[in-house]
Amino acid sequence: MKEINITTSFTIYENLNELSSEIQNLMNQAVEIRKKAYAPYSKFRVGAALLLDNGKVILGSNQENAAYPSGLCAERTAIFYAGSAYPEAKILKMAITAASDTNQTTAPIPPCGSCRQSIAEYEIKQDTPIEIYFMGEIGEIYKSSSLKNLLPLMFDKKFL
């Protein structure tokens, strides 16, 4: 028998003011698009903003559907749009924010498992790490230098 240990690393910012102006702007755009989420069932709104290497910022918010699970998360809404509109562009940075209509979210909210797998696909495809910043409605912001910190044992095309 053998045991492995996997270590991940995150940078934690106390508030938005500690971020660079570029990331503050990206997170502020994620906050604004979060307000446009269609979340009548969960009452949980998520916004995502992607910075591409061509300078474009792509926004996405979660879109729910009564025929659950037919909705789509904010991260995948943005990633899939970026992939279809700018297939040659690389995603450099991603800002994610989440808020509940019923209580205040103060802990950083990371991407769900399906979104992690989708982000992994694009990170592997572009062979460039994607910086991921995530927060709740208020409070600390976590930064991961790559999706690998969130999903260290990634499933990808090499297994197929």
Residues assigned a catalytic role: 75
| Radius of gyration over every alpha carbon of the chain, rounded to an integer in angstroms | 16
The answer on whether 112 is annotated among ligand-binding residues is yes
The answer on whether 62 is annotated among ligand-binding residues is yes
d(CA 6, CA 97): 26
Residues 6+ apart with CB under 8 A from 156: 120, 121, 124
**ω into residue 69 within 30 of 0, thus cis?**
yes
The answer on whether 64 is annotated among ligand-binding residues is yes
The answer on whether 25 is annotated among ligand-binding residues is no
Is residue 140 within 8 Å of residue 30, measured between CB atoms?
A: no
Binding-site residues for substrate, in ranges, read 62-68
Binding-site residues for Zn(2+), in ranges, read 73, 112, 115
Binding-site residues, in ranges, read 62-68, 73, 112, 115
